[in-house]
Amino acid sequence: MSGLRHFASVKVPIRAQHEDGILLMEKPVLEVKELTRTYRSGERTLTVLDSVSLTLNPGSSCAVVGPSGSGKTTLLGLCAGLDRPTSGSVLLDGVLLDPLDEDQLAAVRSESVGFVFQTFQLIPTLTALENVVVPIELRAETRVRSRARELLDQVGLGDRLNHYPSQLSGGEQQRVSLARAFINQPKILFADEPTGNLDAETSERVTELLFELNAAAATTLVLVTHDLELAQRTQRIVELKKGTIHSDQDLLLKSKDLAL
Amino acid sequence: MKFPLLDDWAWKMAWRESRATGKRLFLFVSSITLGVAALVAIGSFGQNLERAVQEQAKSLLGADLVITNRQLFSEETEALFRSWGGEQSREARLASMVYFPESDGSRLVEIRALEGDFPYYGELVTLPAEAAQRFREGPYALVDERMMLQFEVEVGDPVKIGVFQFTVAGKLQRIPGETMTETLVAPRVYIPLSYLSRTDLVQFGSRVSYRNAFRFGPMTEVEQLLEEAEPHMETQRLRSVTVEDRQRRLGRSMENLYRFLSLVGFIALVLGGIGVASAIHIHIKQKLNTVAILRCLGASAGQASTIYLIQAALMSLAGAAVGVLLGIGLQALMPPVLSNFLPVVISFEVSWGAVGQGLAMGLGIGLLFAVLPLLTVRRISPLLALRFSYEQEDSLPREPLRWLVYGLIVAAICLFAVSRTQSWTQGLAFAGGTLAVFLLLVAVASLITVLVKRYFPDSWSYVWRQGLANLYRPNNQTIVVMLALGLGTFLITTLFLIQSTLLNAVSLAGSGDRPDMVLFDIQSDQREEILQIVRSLDLPTQQDVPIVTMRLASVNGRTVQEISEEPERGRRDWALFREYRSTYRESLIDSEELLAGEWYGRVGSPSDKIRISLEQGIARDLGVSPGDQLVFDVQGRPVETEVGSIRKVDWERMQTNFFVVFPVGVLEDAPQFHVLMTQVRSAETSAQLQRTVVQQFPNVSTIDMALVLETVDAVLDNITFVIRTMALFSIITGLVVLVGAVISSRYQRIRESVLLRTLGASRIQIRKIMAIEYLFLGFFAAVTGLFLAILSSWALSYFFFETEFIMELQPVVIVLCVVVGLTMLIGAVSSRGLTNRPPLESLRAEV
């Protein structure tokens, strides 16, 4: 068990909030307030994200869309605690990220966050199985392999456990990465263009798996994508333009409206 | 909170991660192997040496006690010796010429006329073995083996010593307690003491020292005997040497040698450490993405760093372990290398202390240097996993903690140096010097990269430009390679230059119209005839110096005994009690310079004050200045003098120099002998003169410049051989670091070369680009090393040896060619295969 994580959980009693009963269900899993991120590039200051606010409830799914450079990935990075905002705050799974140091942020990720990347980002020196177990091994949990095998089975890679990433196709690599994303049973999953590097057919398979696993684990999903078709499969589409929220559609509501 | 090193996950990851890169990483870390090997070999050897000195203590002296005297032992002393009992041996030692009639050659040697069974412990090693006993029984001589070889003398040949002809009974191979280097200066020749008088060598002014060696029964307390005899010994100016004295002195000089060697070995280890740092640096650069992913997945910065720290530690340990094995093997090679310096026989035994120390040093240095690049791991942002654009390969974040690590490294180096030299000043000077050289190399290397970038030759052909540009492109290894190669170049070249400077200094002393031959121990009645011989050969008489021996009796009215009993005031007893060999003349000579007082060249009438001139060093040691009164005992007659002047003397000139110079008109009638200097110029004339003199006047000794040069050369050769052997460790380490650097950039190179080939470059072009890059690397490294070597040789010559620096071009050019050639060769060998594979295969190949 990582000491730093333990340290973090003392400061921010994550567990206590989970056990707070029914009220908890009402609490948002992600609450972003007035988030601004600027970069300095020489003399100029570049505002990539400008006062973005967003709230996501547990179990919901949301796509962040927008043209290149609109701030999608920046928003994702900030929400996951990979980067720090210039101003504004992020409340992730009941934990306010702003006052945490790097290691405490890592502990929050380990506890509550899963990732799927456009470029898969498997560790090249580890086998498929070993890649999948990394997040739970980090939590010093035991008997992790059986769970990993199960997940790899679910994504259809039960026979490729001991292959290295270089021995797997792109689609296979992304499926390993899906298994890895779900292994720590995260509260929230961030997916950055998960099908961006895949051909149409493979994309379809990966997308299916993503939503399947998501539904099964009741994970909150944040999906950054160009792909409007993919975005349509979520409950909500937030469109970013030049660092601000251009539109925010609740598809669930819409579909309910339509049903009515 | 848990210590990250106890984290199983980090260990697991370290292991999994190393599966793919372990081999490469091990190559990196093997750069510390040679340094560890050197230290283990030297450490283990040092312990064996210490043990040998302990075990063979008695044979170092050959007796339980030796009493020495500058003149014949007095009756009282003989009585004292008789009262001590035990077994006794008598030996007389003097410098003299030997003449080999068969080969018509002569040389200055140390004659040892022996009586009794000395050595009592250890033995004279001779060929044939029985010669060590047989020569004592008749007109036989044991002659230094190397000298016999030089003059083509065989056992059974005649050898003329003085006026008497001996027969060579055997080759002298080893004398207990003496090193080969000592005998280089004056080869030893043993004869029986009973035949010494027949040589007619012991005449007035001959410098003969007498030794009485004792072997006592087991109950005799040597210290107690000496204590009781102390008053007698002091008045008779007898000196004693016990086994403990000899052992202590030898132990000290051996320890100096051992310490010096281990410092040189340590340079190799530090250089290896730099190799480790560069290797880990490259390793980490390749792991940026992995670290970022791990951070995304929730690994703490500490956990991520620990993975690589564990890898570095295990690899360092492995590198050190290989070094230990290698060191144990190397240790077997040490005695032959050092045999010329060793008075004892060394046996081979592994010292576990040295092994443990080697492992610890290897691990410590490996880790210290690995931590430096590892610090950046803590700062790798998880955002890297999300977007490539964020990658800042060239500007990994700087970590303020690195100053702490730099501090630790410097502290570790200083600590090691101080612990080895057991002296703060020496240790810190060594550490400071090493660091200064490293820093200078880095500074020059970075300057070169900057200059190449700024004044880039745009007009060159593509292949040349590409090769040159590789020196400053991202992930270049310029500084590391230049450091590794430059240091080796620097060490070797400095040795060469210093050796040639010293040799030149010696030969310069005999050039021009300065004398190059000295004839000494000329008796007053031989002087005229010898002058005639010299003239008959058409040789100039450049100096004809009378020498009078005397001792100091009192200073400002107090006897030397009284003064020596006073508490120390910065004066030295040796100056009080030594035998002064003084001369008299009217004027200063060109190697002298008046510092204080006034020069008095002549004493007018017997009633005048005798004003003498003292050399500055002896004046300081005696604590006197102009105006002080000195009384000398000149062969039993007191001569009252006053210090008239203080002189500075250039002792390096090949001529007679004196502590005390008397004015003319005082010592003319005192018993004296003469030294004559001439200039023979050619070896032929020299041989002719020596032959004539040695045959007519066997008691007269000659030294010519050629002999001095030969001796200095031989001694320097011996010393530099050892240093060079040690420097070799640094050089090979440098080459290992170079191989590591080439191979670590190999993966990057594969992509480059494939891309270039895809774009239409031929394999020849690719090879040329690489060859040119290594040509430049080797060239710049060699030039940097040479530049520093010339600088330091100059500084050493000027400040330390106080002689004119001679810049020899030949070794410099040779070193330059060898270093450049080696670099290109290693570059070519390590990157072989890069261009053979078809582009597509390489493009697919994974790291």
pLDDT in tens, B404-419: 888 888 898 888 888 8
Pick B301 or A245 by higher pLDDT: A245
The span from the CA of B793 to the CA of B795, in Å, is 5
Asked if residue B488 has pLDDT above 60, the reply is: yes
Dihedral of alpha carbons B779, B780, B782, B786, sign: positive
Percentage of chain B exceeding pLDDT 70: 90
pLDDT digits (tens, 9 = 90+) for B556-604: 988 888 887 776 655 566 778 788 889 999 888 888 889 989 998 888 8
**Are residues A109 and B298 in contact, defined by beta-carbon separation less than 8 angstroms?**
yes
Asked if A161 is an interface residue toward chain B (Cβ–Cβ < 8 A), one would say: no
Measured in angstroms, the CA of B18 and the nearest CA of chain A are apart by 8
CA distances for B476 relative to B218, B448, B753, angstroms: 71, 13, 15
B337 or B226: which leads in pLDDT: B226
User: Nearest Cα to A198, choosing from A222, A158, A168, A156?
Assistant: A168
Quick check: A82 and B383 CB within 8 A?
yes
Q: Which residues of chain B does A122 touch, with a Cβ-Cβ cutoff of 8 Å?
A: 293
Q: Is B626 exposed, middle or buried (0-12, 13-18, 19+ CB in 10 A)?
A: middle
Rounded Cα distance, B670 and B656, in Å: 19
| Averaged pLDDT, B289-305 | 86
Interchain pair B297, A180: CB under 8 A:
yes
A:B CB pairs within 8 Å:
102
Q: Cα-flanking dihedrals φ and ψ of residue B202, to 5°?
A: -85, 100
Q: Which residue of A has its CA nearest to B847?
A: A124
Helical (H) or strand (E) element with B494: helix B478-508
Residue B392 above 50 pLDDT?
no
Higher-confidence position of B817 and B460: B817
Task: Provide the 3-class DSSP secondary structure of residue A140.
Answer: coil
Q: Give the C-alpha separation, A78 to B198, whole Å.
A: 105
State the SS3 of B532-573. HHHHHCCCCEEEEEEEEEEEEEEECCEEHHHHHHCCCCCCCH
Q: Answer whether residue A16 shows pLDDT above 60.
A: no
pLDDT value of position A190: 93
Residue B720 pLDDT exceeds 60: yes
Closest approach of chain B CAs to the CA of A70, in angstroms?
14
Q: Which residues of B fall within a CB distance of 8 Å from A121? A: 289, 293, 296, 385
CA angle B344, B347, B352 (to 5 degrees): 120
Contact of B342 with B176, CB cutoff 8 Å: no
Name the more confident of B787 and B286.
B787
Highest CATH level, class, for A3-259: alpha beta
Mean pLDDT of B339-367: 83
Q: Assign B673 a pLDDT band (cuts: 50, 70, 90).
A: confident
A194-224, pLDDT tens digit by residue?
988 888 888 898 999 999 988 888 899 999 9
Interface of B with A in 9-68 (CB under 8 A): 9, 12-13, 16-17, 19-21
CB < 8 Å from A in window 386-405 of B: 386-387
Calculate mean pLDDT across residues A52-59: 91
- What is the C-alpha separation between B208 and B200, in angstroms, rounded? 13
pLDDT at A17 over 50: no
Contact across the interface for B300 and A2, Cβ inside 8 Å: yes
* Mean local confidence (pLDDT), B107-127: 90
What digits encode the pLDDT tens for the residues B153-162? Answer: 999 999 999 8
pLDDT at A33: 93
- Nearest-CA distance B24 → chain A (Å): 14
CA separation for the pair A235, A254 (Å, rounded): 9
Mean pLDDT of B232-261: 80
Residue of B787, B158, B113, B689 lying closest to B437 (CA atoms): B787
- Band of residue A36 on the pLDDT scale cut at 50, 70, 90: very high
Partner-chain contact A125 B16, CB within 8 Å: yes
Tokens 């044979």 map to which residue?
B59
On whether the CB atoms of residues B34 and B360 are closer than 8 A, the answer is no
* Whether the Cβ atoms of residue A128 and residue A178 lie closer than 8 Å to each other: no
- Predicted pLDDT of residue B811: 80
Q: Please list the helix, strand and coil fractions of chain A in percent, rounded to the nearest 5, in that order.
A: 40, 25, 35
What are the pLDDT digits (tens) for B514-545?
A: 777 888 888 888 889 999 998 888 888 878 88
- Given a cut of 90, whether residue A179 has pLDDT beyond it is yes
What is the tens place of the pLDDT at every residue in A76-115?
989 988 888 999 999 998 899 989 888 888 888 888 999 8
- What's at B248, amino acid-wise? R
User: Which residue among A83, A103, A122 places its CB closest to the CB of B302?
Assistant: A103
In the predicted model, is pLDDT for residue A27 greater than 90?
A: no
Of the pLDDT bands very low, low, confident and very high (cuts 50, 70, 90), residue B764 is: confident
Q: Does pLDDT of A258 surpass 50?
A: no
How far is Cα B378 from Cα A232, in angstroms, rounded to an integer?
Answer: 39
Angle between helix B33-55 and helix B352-374 axes, rounded to 10 deg: 160
Q: In angstroms, rounded to a whole number, what is the distance separating the alpha carbons of residues B234 and B223?
A: 15
| Band (B431; pLDDT cuts 50, 70, 90) | confident
Per-residue pLDDT averaged across B748-752, rounded? 69
Residues 6+ apart with CB under 8 A from A230: A63, A195, A207, A223
Q: What number is the average pLDDT over the span B83-107?
A: 89
User: Residue B653: its pLDDT value, please?
Assistant: 67
CA distance B40 to B356: 9
The pLDDT of residue B115: 93
Amino acid identity, position B731 = I
Confidence of residue B398 (pLDDT cuts 50, 70, 90): low
Q: Which residues pair with B113 in a beta bridge?
A: B92, B191
**Which chain B residues have a beta carbon less than 8 Å from that of A110?**
297-299
Supply the pLDDT for residue A63: 94
Record: contact A123-B290, CB cut-off 8 A? yes
Q: Are strands A30-41 and A44-56 parallel, antiparallel or unpaired?
A: antiparallel
From the list A185, A177, A209, A212, the residue with the least C-alpha distance to A93 is: A185
pLDDT, average across residues B776-801: 84
Instruction: Quote the mean pLDDT of chain B.
Output: 82
Q: Are B311 and B17 in contact (CB under 8 A)?
A: yes
pLDDT the model gives residue A254? 56
Interface probe, candidates B1, B300, B381, chain A, greatest A C-beta count within 10 A: B300
At B388 the pLDDT is 55
Confirm if B293 and A99 have CB atoms less than 8 A apart: no
pLDDT band per the 50, 70, 90 thresholds, residue B807: confident
pLDDT at B393: 41
CA-nearest residue of chain A to B846?
A166
Tell me: the pLDDT tens digits for B142-184? Answer: 999 888 988 889 999 999 998 899 999 999 988 887 877 777 7
Q: Identify all chain B residues contacting A107, using CB atoms and an 8 Å cutoff.
A: 298, 300
Phi first, then psi: what are they for A17, rounded to 5°? Answer: -70, -35
B60 has a pLDDT exceeding 60: yes
A123 reaches B (C-beta below 8 A): yes
B296, B383, B846: residue with CB nearest A109: B296
Compute the nearest-CA separation of A6 from chain B (Å). 8
What is the pLDDT, as a whole number, of residue B767?
Answer: 82
B7–A123 C-beta distance less than 8 A:
no
pLDDT score of B6: 65
pLDDT at B837: 61
Bridge partners for B399 per DSSP: none
Is the CB of A124 less than 8 angstroms away from the CB of B296? Answer: no
Confidence of residue A255 (pLDDT cuts 50, 70, 90): low
Of the two residues B663 and B802, the one the predictor is more confident about is B663
What is the Rg, in whole angstroms, of the alpha carbon atoms belonging to chain B? 34
Q: What is the mean pLDDT of residues A174-197?
A: 90
* Model confidence at B93: pLDDT above 70: yes
